[in-house]
Every structure is written in C-alpha cells, then in structure tokens.
Amino acid sequence: MSKVTQDLEKYAELIISSGCNLQPGQELLLSASTDSCEFARMVTAEAYKQGARRVTVRFADEKISRLHFEHCALEVFKDFPEWQALLSNSMAEKGAAFLSIISDDPLAMVGIDQSKLVEHSRSSYEACKPFQQAIAEGKLVWCIVAAAAPQWAQHVFPQLSAEEAVDKLWQAIFSAVRVNTADPLAAWQQHRKSFDARKAWLNSQHFDRLHFHSELGTNLVVGLNEKGLWQGGGDITTSGTEFFPNMPTEEIFTTPNRLRAEGIVYSSMPLIHYGSPIKDFSLSFKNGKVVDCSAKVGQDVLEAILSIDKGATRLGECALVPWDSPIQQSGILFFNTLFDENASCHLALGKGFSDCFEGGQKLSEDELEAVGVNKSATHVDFMIGTANMSITGIKPDGHELPIFSKGNWAF
C-alpha cells in the first residue's frame, strides 16, 4: 500500500472516530462532491467498519450546480425541493450523524446572479428548519472535513500540474488535520484538551467588550453578552457524544451581542463566498449593524450577503486564532473558509451560536435574539487577523487586559 493510500485510510478513520464519533448502529448522512468520489468510498467503508447501521451518500457535482444557477429562473430558487429537505430533516430526527466532505472550486460560481444564491440559501434554511434546530439545540453530530480535488488544488498551487497540485493539497490537508502524526486519534484528544485552559480563562474574565486593532486600519469594539460563553476545540451533544464540527480547528470563539459593535474592520484575507471572491474589503458598524461596506473585488457579492436578511448585517461570531497557528505558519492560502478561518482571527456576519450563551440551547431563535444572540439564515466568516493584531478585553468597570498582542495570545 502506498504512503498516500495509508494516509487516506488514517484520515478516513480519524474522521469517523474523532470527527463524527460514530456510534455502532447509528446512521450517517455523507455529503460529498463527485470530485472526491474515491475518498467518499473510503469513508463509507470506514463507517461500516465502525458499525454504521446505514450510510446514505448524497453527491453533488459543482459543474451541474452551476448549470442550475445559470439556467433556472430566480423564482425556482425560492422553493427548495421537498425531497431534499425531507432527507436532512428526517435523518436529523433519527439522530444520524451528518458528515460533509468539501472540495470546492473557489471560482465555481463566478459571475452567477447573486440574487439566485441568496434565494437558495434563504429557502434551504427555511425548508431545513428541523435540521437547523437540532443543531442549534446541540442534539446532532455534524462534521465538515476536506478532500483535495483538481480545481481547488490548482487554485491554491497555480504553478503546479493538476496531479502535483492535488498531491500537494492532500499533504497540506494531512498536516493541518494531524494525520501525519504517529497517532492522529491521540493527537486530536490532546488538541481538545489544549483549548480548555484558554477557554476557562476567557470565561472567567467576563469581559464586557473586546477592542480590535490592526495595521490595516481595523479599529473595532465588539460588545459581548453578559451570559456569553467561549467555545472551541471540540463540541459535545446534549446526550454526551464528543465530536469535532470542523477538522481542522484552531479557533476559540463566542457569539457577540448583536446590538453592540462600533467602528471599522478590514479583511485580512480574501473571502470566497459560494464560489465568488471578495477581496480587500471593510465593514463599518454602528449599534451592531453594518452601515457601510466597500470591497476592491466583489462589492456585489458582499452586498448580496448583507441583503439575505436583517441578521446578515450583524455579527454572529467572534473568533480568536493566533498568528502562529499551524495553518497560518504553513504559508498556504487555501481559499476555503474551513482552513482559512483557522489561520486568522475572524468575525462572522449572521447567525449566532446557541451554545455560546449560558442555557442558550434551551431557548428558541426568537428568545436568543431578544437576549443578544443574532438570528439569520446565513453565517459567513471573514478573516481580520494580522501579524500585528492587538485585542484588548475590557471589563464592565472599564478595567483593560491584553488578550492578543502582535497577533498572538498575550496570556
């Protein structure tokens, strides 16, 4: 067996064991692209090896998806196919684990009418409410991982041939998810623990707000919730199953107060939104709401995100990632949020996390909104961290403590 095949098998085992923590007799819904068919087969085999009751595989093809967006009329996207919603909702009700293998071409949807993408994300969110609700209530195991595919790989490594680029992207993925350590399962257990001390410190400080500064011009104060919680490193369902929603993961995050962000923030990395790039952009906030935005590339895409609903103009996430994180240090720009968000401090427009609020998983969306957790059909991460980012934590009495200095943890 070649080294790559061995690593792929180790990766598949890691995904099913640590990512999904699949239980014997549990069902698995696996979503993948036709570009990663072979890896999807390995993951399916591994799931059965670990006792899956049944693995349902949902394949999508990016080029066919693009054809839908090119040819279907706008109103088609307002009605989400019933059978697709039924698949997600019924599997959620049965307690299946949801695994997505992503391998997106960063430019798959360039030039597509943004309003169609907006309608699609709105209608899918509405139709899949029971599934979304199960996630918000902490009942479901869900996990997003990546597989190398030619279009994505060549966007990351344009100087290489398709085959070389795919090989190199696989190596970068293996290293980001610790597959090339002696015992990846143990490495992830250790990884989970390493977050605990920092989360505990942040949770014990009860900061009222954070002040972000960067050399790009960022000068933003983000207000936090009094009952806010910092999360990160791994997740656990309400019934006690430990899992990792994202592999890789390097972030510690919370949901800020939806009404309290003031100032301006500059992006530090390009954002690829549904296959359309947005570059060098800034957002100005007043009373938690975006009041102005400007992008050198992709202004229309940025405005489309902000137009999804009223929650899309407010913050749902604030995440801390040190500049010396392994993904940042790899020097690779992945053009994919799963990786790039783990290389940089970031914020997200849209939906907040119920588990970032004390007792939040027992509250409805409207109740969460009333206490400061943002409600939206979307959640879009964008990177703001730089080598010189400073973050100061400010207590309710005005007392200040450094959290980040020169891009890294200050404590």
Contacts to Zn ion by CB under 5 A: 251, 319, 341
Whole-Å CA distances, 120 to 86, 293, 378, 394: 16, 23, 11, 40
Which residues neighbour 194 within 8 Å (Cβ) at sequence distance 6 or greater?
233
Q: Which residues of 379-402 are buried (b: 16+ CB within 10 A; e: fewer)?
A: bbbbbbbbeebbbbbbeeeeeeee
Is the Cβ of residue 251 or residue 365 nearer to Zn ion in the bound state? 251
Start-to-end Cα distance in the chain? 45
By C-alpha distance, which of 5, 30, 6 is closest to 16?
A: 30
Strand, helix or coil for residue 191: helix
Q: How far is the CB of 50 from Zn ion (least distance, A)?
A: 28
Is the Cβ of residue 123 or residue 257 nearer to Zn ion in the bound state? 257
Is the Cβ of residue 332 or residue 356 nearer to Zn ion in the bound state? 356
Is the Cβ of residue 274 or residue 353 nearer to Zn ion in the bound state? 353
Which residues neighbour 326 within 8 Å (Cβ) at sequence distance 6 or greater?
175, 176, 250
Q: How far is the CB of 121 from Zn ion (least distance, A)?
A: 18
Shortest Cβ contact with Zn ion: which residue?
Answer: 319
Q: How far is the CB of 250 from Zn ion (least distance, A)?
A: 10
Is the Cβ of residue 306 or residue 315 nearer to Zn ion in the bound state? 315
Q: How far is the CB of 104 from Zn ion (least distance, A)?
A: 17
The backbone region for 105, taken as left when phi is positive above 0, alpha when psi lies in -120 to 50, beta otherwise, is: beta
- If you write DSSP's letter for every residue of 266-308 in order, what string do you get? E-SS-EEETTEEEEEEEEEEETTEEEEEEEEE-HHHHHHHHTS
Amino acid identity for residue 387 in this structure: A
Q: How far is the CB of 56 from Zn ion (least distance, A)?
A: 28
Is the Cβ of residue 91 or residue 356 nearer to Zn ion in the bound state? 356
Q: How far is the CB of 319 from Zn ion (least distance, A)?
A: 4
Is the Cβ of residue 117 or residue 384 nearer to Zn ion in the bound state? 384
Q: How far is the CB of 231 from Zn ion (least distance, A)?
A: 10
Is the Cβ of residue 288 or residue 352 nearer to Zn ion in the bound state? 352
Q: How far is the CB of 69 from Zn ion (least distance, A)?
A: 26
Residues in a beta bridge with 143: 99
Is the Cβ of residue 105 or residue 251 nearer to Zn ion in the bound state? 251
Tracing tokens 């990016």 back to the chain, one arrives at: 62
Strand, helix or coil for residue 69: helix
Rounded Cα distance between 123 and 309, Å, is 12
By C-alpha distance, which of 3, 335, 342 is closest to 169?
A: 335
Q: How far is the CB of 347 from Zn ion (least distance, A)?
A: 9
Rounded Cα distance between 245 and 157, Å, is 27
